[in-house]
Structure 1
């Protein structure tokens, strides 16, 4: 069951437009974000985790390469 939707943000909290599938695993989303960051030369980003049920922001996960 999909519980989260994700958005990858830069340090100015702007959406980078990365397609990360909705799902139930934050770890998988972080790994996909890291792969995209490596391919596009991004050193720092934040993964925004949102609830599918309430549409609320749950947390930010900092990602550094």
Structure 2
């Protein structure tokens, strides 16, 4: 399956948190990985940025609250 997205986990101020979330085609898988990373690193609120592999444009910003 083709990788369509690359992901960044950001703070509320849009700073990069440094979470390694693999490129892929599933936002759900990335969201689950982001939540797991947040739990392991004591982060209770973040934004998952979904970026296009083709254009590098931000396609979605998903607010995550644990």
Alignment TM class, shorter chain as reference: over 0.9
Aligned twin of 2:46:
45
TM-score, normalising length from structure 1? 0.98
CA-based RMSD: 0.4
Structure 1 segment 23-34 matched on structure 2, within 5 A: 23-34=24-35
Structure 1 segment 1-65 matched on structure 2, within 5 A: 1-65=2-66
TM-score, normalising length from structure 2? 0.96
Equivalenced residue count is: 65
Q: Which runs of no fewer than 5 residues in structure 2 stay unpaired?
A: none
Q: Which runs of no fewer than 5 residues in structure 1 stay unpaired?
A: none
